[in-house]
Chains A and B, each alone.
Chain A
Amino acid sequence: MPKILKISGLEKTYSSGNKQLTVLHNISFEVEKGQTFSIVGPSGSGKTTLLGLCAGLDQPNSGNVELCGEDLGDLNEDQRAQLRNKNVGFIFQNFQLLPTLTALENVSVPLELQGNKEAVAKSKQLLEKVGLANRYHHYPSQLSGGEQQRVALARAFVNAPSILFADEPTGNLDEETGEKVIQLLFELNKEAGTTLVIITHDLDLANRTQQILRLKGGQILTNERTLVQ
């Protein structure tokens, strides 16, 4: 299977006063195209840092990240932004909707950035798919947590990304709502054939993906395939 994400020898350190704090140490792994992949580990194990590096939100101190065939080290910030716009979708624990945009406007932003004239129509379709057809013109503050995460889902899928990064997608939701969002996430993923990279504490959720990478103290503990096909 072709690889959509290739990580090799990744190191990330932060300076804290005079001290250097190594958050990630010699990380290497690959994600296949269309695969569902989860990264698990306790708090402080470097999961979120790893996600940021994989998606080109941050740069490593050493090592390489190849996303959708592009070495992120060769791209500048704007080129990385363009790559994300075309190929990457995001879902965050705190939803991260733009508070000043309505649900419909939030969803259409990625397409509008591409200059897609169908942005509004496609966004409506997706909002309908996530069950928010009657919430187009609501602002995030007027939506419940579950609804906000569903808007985030619609936004993540609207540009038909090749890969979707989800950071604790159910972390801020109750079990029932969380489950609904996860079902929706897998459904949309299956439909679009998107590669899914999930960061989670939730082992049940991780077990529903095809591969699990376990992190501890900034190092890979295990990287195993599950039985999920």
Chain B
Amino acid sequence: MKQNTNWLFKMAWRDAKASKVRLLLFMASIILGIAAVVSIQLFSTNLIDNIKKQSKSILGADYVIKTRQVPTERTKAIVDSLKPDASEVNFVSMIAFPKNGGTKLVEVRGLEGDFPFYGTIDTQPTSAAVSYQESGGALVDATLMLQFNIKPGDSIKVGKVTLPISGSLKAIPGTTAISTSVAPPIVIPNRFIEDTELLQFGSRKEYKYFFKVAESVNLEALDKVLRPKLKAESASINTHIRTSERLGNRYENVSKFLNLAAFIALLLGCIGIASSVHIYIKEKLRAIAVLKCLGASRKQSFYIFLIQIAGIGIIGGLLGALIGVGLQELFPLFLKDFLPFTVEISISVQPIIMGILLGLFMSVLFSLLPLLRTWYVSPLEVLRVDEQASKEPLKVRLLVFASILVFLFLFSVWLLNDVMYALGFISVTVIAFSVLAGVAILCIRGIRRYFPKRWGFTARQSLLNLFRPNNQTVVLIVAIGLGTSLISTLYFSKDILLAKTDIEQTSKNANIIILDVQLKQREAIENNIKAKRLPILSNIPIVTMRMHKIKDKLVNELRQDSTRRRRGFLNHEFRSTYRDSLLNSEDVIRGEWVDALGPNEPIVISISENLAESTQVDIGDTIVFNVQGVLMETTIGSIRKVDWQQLQPNFNVVFPKGVLEKAPQFNVILTSVTDAESSADLQRDLVAKYPNVSIIDLRQVYTIIEDILDKVSWIINFMAFFSILTGIIVLIGSVRTSKYQRIKESVLLRTIGAKNKQILQISAFEYLFLGLLGSLVGILLALLSSLCLAFFVFKEAFIPSLIPFLVFLPGITLLVLAIGLTNIRTVLQSSPLEVLRREG
């Protein structure tokens, strides 16, 4: 037994040694596939971690617990047990500048501890961000200081406390959403809050506790456990993971895309393996028949090649994994000028083991079908070529196909963590494979049936090559088509994701918000903004109101009802708006949206899901609002789900047009500036002319987001091109392998007198046809699969790029043609005898 095993290994080695060039091509597919998978996996894990870290700077902490009332005993117990690293209490209050007697409604934030843990407080001077705590100073909103001509060193009176101003506050982490009640912020050390005497019972305030935790802490699990407990105490939790969700689909789609790239890279490797081994084993069949003649059993001849393939799979997997890890290491070295971030390299054995196992499985599985032919090849083939004799039974072939599909399915499930997506991927791959094979077979039949007998010798020979015995039409069309299809799918998907980035980056998201614009100032301010060539992105009317009655019950009575858990809304002064359409941050989940109402029509409004839940109202219920002294009865017509995380003003109560137009109101104007200078210029100008308006500059929040999105785009581009490169190399390998099919025929033609030009023409036409048909069908399939990806996976619109048609189609066709012609270069440069001897 041992002796037999040794002999099998010896034979595998002997044969491999003599076939090293062909096996190297085969190994190249494995190496490339695995290198791509490993590096994409490692690199993307690294990058996603990097982005995650950065997304923490939006919140400034790993998670925050907040409550809009004095924390209950239970809340305190939860917070204390978690040991917060910093805390804040904030409330809206009037402040005064003793220097000039100016007063303003601001948001006072009393901070304690080293907040923020991620990102920085942006101040002028920079040192003020740290020194204000120790020196007991205040950081005052930069626009506010500009507005009242206040300088660092002046003082500010907050309630009963007067503090020196340490610096102007440009940005502070934690500004994650815009509410219409936003007032310019000032930050003071928490220890002075009590002395201000502003925190009276019943006044509106918010308590926040900031936490920094180790990487290993599962925030999602923590969120899940704490959320209901905190909700019961009218408190809430916000993690940086939730915050980063505001980055939208694109952020979530990055990992999907990277997994797709890894999957495609591996599939490309598998195509390379399948096409190389198919031709390799086909050439070995005669030798296997000889071995069987000499007494080798079916098992022995099968094992010789199985050992060979498995060995190459293991070596290829190991090399691929090492290259993958190495590439990861080299990325920062070679790409440091291009990388928009630093990459921390961590080396572990896991990717190496994964690479080896993947190499072994993919090589054996994708070689199994051609390998089976070694089992079924008859020794009689030594005496005569009998195509029928060496066919494996249909059952066995189906079993092998099923195993391949199971492998691909398991691999996809591992990569995507989603059974449905994995099933989808596999189905699309099978469909693509079948379509390509079908097209190739139809093509062969078509050419055979309508063979152009009157064509010239070389053209006829080329066409004959496509369907005569030992033709490579099906193998090459499937390999070229699947390769092109995968490459194009990757390109289209990259476009789907990047198009979204473009839209978001160029859609001029509002980054300057001008609050408290009075009706009579509106036109002048708009003109002022337009004069600076800035857009008016939105002009939102705001009408303040309070709830008077809910479902015929007076709000004053409801306030006394201690069974109502959340009473905050009952005291709330709502800043409502009116408009005739929904925003992209909201969806109607119940009822019907009403655009506009005529005079004297019953008033139908739309409320947010949160408000509906807190006030326990539903469609058809009535709410009476007190709109600055006038009672207005309304009926709830629709309930909206609002994405409060989006950086735009969102509202709990929205009226249709035609109701509030004459009510006392002010406006919020949204515009967008491109840089710090134009922002400062606009702010200076508006503040000087209209001292009552407040301006909020959101550029820094946007800068963080855009920075992250830039990185995301970079990764998508890089990984797409890396996989596309893999695909092209695998394609070269597949077509190159076909060299051995054609050499003998070309040599024989040359022997009987064909000129170099004729041989070149025959090959050129054949490869041109294979390249064109394969890549065309491949791109069309990619178009279809990308449409599915856009619709089902990325959930984005798909506008196909022309690049695959204009670049990939001619590019791959020419590539196939070039490799095909290189293949027969040997024939043209050497004597026929020399080639015949060398090729055996």
Chain A positions near chain B (C-beta within 8 angstroms): 48, 51-52, 55, 57-58, 77-78, 81-86, 88, 90, 92, 96-101, 105, 109-110, 112-115, 139-141, 155, 167
Partner-binding segment picked from B376-384, B435-443, B461-469: B376-384
Smallest CB gap from B301: residue in A: A81
Instruction: Tell which of B7, B286, B293 touches A112, judged by Cβ atoms closer than 8 Å.
Output: B7
Instruction: Tell which of A55, A83, A98, A113 touches B287, judged by Cβ atoms closer than 8 Å.
Output: A98
Chain B positions near chain A (C-beta within 8 angstroms): 3-4, 7, 10-11, 14-15, 17-19, 286-287, 290-300, 378-380, 382-384, 837-840
Chain A residues whose CB sits within 8 angstroms of the CB of B290 once the complex forms: 96-98
Chain A residues whose CB sits within 8 angstroms of the CB of B286 once the complex forms: 96
**CA–CA, A53 and B293, complex, Å:** 12
Chain B residues whose CB sits within 8 angstroms of the CB of A52 once the complex forms: 380, 383
Q: List 17 A-B contacts (CB under 8 A).
A: A48-B383, A51-B383, A57-B378, A57-B380, A77-B298, A81-B295, A81-B298, A82-B295, A84-B294, A84-B295, A84-B379, A85-B294, A88-B295, A99-B18, A100-B17, A101-B18, A109-B294
**CA–CA, A78 and B840, complex, Å:** 28
Contact yes or no, A92 B383, CB < 8 A: yes
Known A105-B14, A113-B300, A141-B840; contact A96-B382, beta-carbon cutoff 8 A: yes
Looking at the assembled complex, report how far the CB atom of B804 sits from the nearest CB atom of chain A, in whole angstroms: 41
Looking at the assembled complex, report how far the CB atom of B104 sits from the nearest CB atom of chain A, in whole angstroms: 89
**CA–CA, A98 and B301, complex, Å:** 13
Chain A residues whose CB sits within 8 angstroms of the CB of B14 once the complex forms: 100-101, 105
Smallest CB gap from B19: residue in A: A100
Chain A residues whose CB sits within 8 angstroms of the CB of B840 once the complex forms: 99, 140-141
Smallest CB gap from B7: residue in A: A112
Q: Which of A83, A86, A112, A155 has the most CB of B within 10 A?
A: A112
**CA–CA, A82 and B293, complex, Å:** 10
Chain B residues whose CB sits within 8 angstroms of the CB of A99 once the complex forms: 18, 287, 840
Chain B residues whose CB sits within 8 angstroms of the CB of A55 once the complex forms: 293
Chain A residues whose CB sits within 8 angstroms of the CB of B7 once the complex forms: 112-113, 115
- Apart from A82-B297, A109-B296, what are 20 other A-B pairs with CB-CB below 8 Å? A51-B383, A52-B380, A57-B293, A57-B380, A77-B297, A77-B298, A81-B379, A84-B379, A85-B294, A96-B286, A98-B290, A98-B291, A100-B14, A100-B17, A101-B15, A110-B294, A112-B11, A113-B296, A115-B3, A141-B840
**CA–CA, A218 and B287, complex, Å:** 29
Looking at the assembled complex, report how far the CB atom of B628 sits from the nearest CB atom of chain A, in whole angstroms: 95
Chain A residues whose CB sits within 8 angstroms of the CB of B839 once the complex forms: 141
Chain B residues whose CB sits within 8 angstroms of the CB of A92 once the complex forms: 382-383
**CA–CA, A96 and B286, complex, Å:** 8
Chain B residues whose CB sits within 8 angstroms of the CB of A86 once the complex forms: 295
Chain A residues whose CB sits within 8 angstroms of the CB of B294 once the complex forms: 84-85, 90, 109-110, 113, 155
Chain B residues whose CB sits within 8 angstroms of the CB of A101 once the complex forms: 14-15, 18
Known A101-B14, A110-B295; contact A57-B382, beta-carbon cutoff 8 A: yes
Smallest CB gap from B286: residue in A: A96
Chain A interface mostly: helix
**CA–CA, A141 and B836, complex, Å:** 9
Chain B residues whose CB sits within 8 angstroms of the CB of A97 once the complex forms: 290
Chain B interface mostly: helix
**CA–CA, A86 and B10, complex, Å:** 21
Please name the 9 residue pairs, one residue from A and one from B, whose CB atoms are nearest each other, closest first: A85-B295, A100-B18, A99-B840, A78-B297, A115-B3, A100-B15, A57-B379, A57-B380, A58-B380
**CA–CA, A167 and B379, complex, Å:** 14
Known A100-B15, A101-B14; contact A115-B297, beta-carbon cutoff 8 A: no
Q: Which of A81, A97, A140 has the most CB of B within 10 A?
A: A81
Q: Which of B15, B294, B838 has the most CB of A within 10 A?
A: B294
Chain A residues whose CB sits within 8 angstroms of the CB of B19 once the complex forms: 100
Instruction: Tell which of A90, A105, A141 touches B837, judged by Cβ atoms closer than 8 Å.
Output: A141
Looking at the assembled complex, report how far the CB atom of A24 sits from the nearest CB atom of chain B, in whole angstroms: 14
Chain B residues whose CB sits within 8 angstroms of the CB of A85 once the complex forms: 294-296
Smallest CB gap from B283: residue in A: A99
Smallest CB gap from B290: residue in A: A96
Looking at the assembled complex, report how far the CB atom of A194 sits from the nearest CB atom of chain B, in whole angstroms: 16
Chain B residues whose CB sits within 8 angstroms of the CB of A82 once the complex forms: 295, 297
Smallest CB gap from B3: residue in A: A115
Chain A residues whose CB sits within 8 angstroms of the CB of B15 once the complex forms: 98, 100-101
Chain A residues whose CB sits within 8 angstroms of the CB of B293 once the complex forms: 55, 57, 84, 90, 96
Chain B residues whose CB sits within 8 angstroms of the CB of A141 once the complex forms: 837-840
Known A81-B297, A109-B294, A115-B7; contact A100-B379, beta-carbon cutoff 8 A: no
Chain A residues whose CB sits within 8 angstroms of the CB of B291 once the complex forms: 98, 109
Contact yes or no, A78 B4, CB < 8 A: no
Contact yes or no, A58 B378, CB < 8 A: yes
Contact yes or no, A81 B292, CB < 8 A: yes
Smallest CB gap from A48: residue in B: B383
Chain B residues whose CB sits within 8 angstroms of the CB of A77 once the complex forms: 297-298
**CA–CA, A110 and B295, complex, Å:** 7
Contact yes or no, A48 B384, CB < 8 A: yes
Chain A residues whose CB sits within 8 angstroms of the CB of B11 once the complex forms: 109, 112
Looking at the assembled complex, report how far the CB atom of A215 sits from the nearest CB atom of chain B, in whole angstroms: 15
Looking at the assembled complex, report how far the CB atom of B833 sits from the nearest CB atom of chain A, in whole angstroms: 11
**CA–CA, A83 and B379, complex, Å:** 13
**CA–CA, A139 and B808, complex, Å:** 43
Known A81-B296, A100-B287; contact A139-B18, beta-carbon cutoff 8 A: yes
**CA–CA, A110 and B296, complex, Å:** 8
Looking at the assembled complex, report how far the CB atom of A55 sits from the nearest CB atom of chain B, in whole angstroms: 8
Smallest CB gap from A58: residue in B: B380
Looking at the assembled complex, report how far the CB atom of B830 sits from the nearest CB atom of chain A, in whole angstroms: 13
Smallest CB gap from A156: residue in B: B294
Looking at the assembled complex, report how far the CB atom of A84 sits from the nearest CB atom of chain B, in whole angstroms: 5
**CA–CA, A101 and B290, complex, Å:** 12
Looking at the assembled complex, report how far the CB atom of A201 sits from the nearest CB atom of chain B, in whole angstroms: 15
Chain B residues whose CB sits within 8 angstroms of the CB of A98 once the complex forms: 15, 287, 290-291
**CA–CA, A86 and B297, complex, Å:** 13
Known A92-B382, A100-B287; contact A113-B295, beta-carbon cutoff 8 A: yes
**CA–CA, A164 and B718, complex, Å:** 64
**CA–CA, A110 and B300, complex, Å:** 13
**CA–CA, A78 and B7, complex, Å:** 17
Chain B residues whose CB sits within 8 angstroms of the CB of A113 once the complex forms: 7, 294-296, 300
**CA–CA, A8 and B693, complex, Å:** 113
**CA–CA, A11 and B294, complex, Å:** 25
Looking at the assembled complex, report how far the CB atom of A17 sits from the nearest CB atom of chain B, in whole angstroms: 12
**CA–CA, A96 and B838, complex, Å:** 16
Chain A residues whose CB sits within 8 angstroms of the CB of B296 once the complex forms: 81, 85, 109, 113
Looking at the assembled complex, report how far the CB atom of B22 sits from the nearest CB atom of chain A, in whole angstroms: 10
Contact yes or no, A115 B4, CB < 8 A: yes
Instruction: Tell which of A78, A90, A100, A139 touches B298, judged by Cβ atoms closer than 8 Å.
Output: A78
